[in-house]
Amino acid sequence: MSRIGNNPVAIPEGVTVEVKDNVLTVKGKLGELTQEFSGVSITVEEGNVLVTRPSDSKEHKAKHGLYRSLVANMVLGVSTGWTKELELVGVGYRASNQGQKLDIALGFSHNIILNVAPEVKVETISEKGKNPIIKLTSFDKQLVGQVAAKIRAFRKPEPYKGKGVKFVGEQLRRKAGKSA
């Protein structure tokens, strides 16, 4: 039994949810998201979105919780939005942006220039004495996570000094250095 799938998704004010031909469309003040679905039925009633499955087969149980989570993320995204913050830990690591073009210096011979999708808002914060922070904001949770993972993959945090690109608040597994 899917405990997540059984919970209804509350629709906040200013958000409209439409279901038509196995395509779910969610519109809000921040944007519009669509999602195809199969194996479950999605209904909108009394300000809630309900996800139900036709049988208790393994495939239907898996999709039940999955689509309920996707719907909840879409509804929350178009109403409040999603934010990911990345921290650049290391001497000489810098980040700046001009619109949707992100320029990152991570200790390689050349800077990395990344063109970010127009749906994702990029902001760089550089304060003296603190590590630079890249702030990504969008209404699409999947897209924000994908862009953040791509930036982090340029230089993952290493376990000895902790240098690299990490998420703000991420706990790194550190190792002791060599013993004399």
* Two domains, one topology: 3-79 and 82-167: yes
What pLDDT is attached to residue 5? 84
Is 82-167 in CATH node 3.90.1150.10?
A: no
Residue ranges of the domains in the chain? 3-79, 82-167
CA 163 – CA 25 distance, rounded (Å): 42
What pLDDT is attached to residue 134? 96
CA 52 – CA 45 distance, rounded (Å): 13
Tell me, rounded to whole angstroms, the distance of Cα 99 from its chain centroid: 20
Tokens at residue 24, please?
């779910």
What pLDDT is attached to residue 4? 84
What pLDDT is attached to residue 178? 86
Of 82, 110, 116, 84, give the one whose Cα is nearest residue 97. Answer: 116
| CATH code that applies to domain 3-79 | 3.90.930.12
Q: Which long-range contacts (CB under 8 A, 24 or more apart) does 45-54 make?
A: 47/10, 47/11, 48/8, 48/9, 48/10, 48/11, 49/8, 49/9, 49/11, 49/17, 49/75, 50/8, 50/9, 51/5, 51/9, 53/2, 53/5
Residues of the chain with pLDDT below 70 are 1-2, 180
What pLDDT is attached to residue 147? 96
Instruction: Name 124's Cβ contacts closer than 8 Å, sequence gap at least 6.
Output: 95, 96, 97, 102, 132, 133, 134, 135
Tokens at residue 34, please?
């669509």
